Structure 1
């Protein structure tokens, strides 16, 4: 069942506008935001993710290069906040999800239809003293 989550994220990645990642030396930070109603119901239930037309879902994955031939999932401390265009801020709380060879950090949040949000995520990879700032904007739409 756990591999179902990985499959869900892989399939949803195909819907993304473009690959959403930022590279910081040996680290890649991948991120994806969508309306939580787009998640598979079984996956949402398994990980206690509320499915709603007005709830956003954010997935962060940190990969480290140079450990093996392919980048590997890497643990990290993830903190973040989001704000709307008039500057109202909300803290994001992240839940760590460990699978066999994958590691995700997920957060949910309420949003207003067709509003643009600014995200500021601080990523401190395990074993690193550096914190990386991941910043991006995304518009959210009410789901079906």
Structure 2
């Protein structure tokens, strides 16, 4: 369980270093962290444990929601979203909640082609409160 947390943390650090920007958007009391990466980066045993399919044509989208006013406590929320490529083709993202100790992640998968760019629009809902984040990602087939 902690292996996935460690893997995602390491991957986030590596990708953030490469992009020179933290992949986080602050909305009110929430820090919404996001990352999208090829599922082939995940070790087979971790993919199996979390029912993720590994492929050089599949991405993993990882969202975590932390309360920035309460010691970055993980938030229980409903996460939904859409991905749209540059041709305007939309894909609904089906997020699955993963909880490991005090950490909570929301994971979805997305098919892509080499050098395909997707624009993401992710909604995070908790009770009557809904926040939306938007980001883009270019994917490469490794």
Unaligned runs of 5+ in 2: none
Unaligned runs of 5+ in 1: none
Alignment of 1:107 with 2:108, yes or no, is yes
**Other-structure match for 1:118:** 119
Write the mapping of 1:1-144 to structure 2, written as runs, cut at 5 A: 2-16=1-15, 17=19, 18-67=21-70, 70-125=71-126, 128-143=127-142
TM-score between both structures, scaled by the size of structure 2: 0.93
Once the two structures are TM-superposed, the CA of residue 130 in structure 1 deviates from its matched residue by 2.0
1:116 match: secondary structure: strand
- Residue-pair matches, total: 138
CA RMSD in angstroms comes to 1.0
Q: Which of the two has greater helix per residue? A: 2
**Cα offsets for 1:59-94 (capped at 9, x unmatched):** 000001222xx2111011111010111211010000
Segments of 4+ in structure 1 off by > 3 A? none
Report if the CA contact (8 A) 1:8-1:40 is conserved: no
**Cα offsets for 1:85-132 (capped at 9, x unmatched):** 12110100000001101000000111011011100101113xx42211
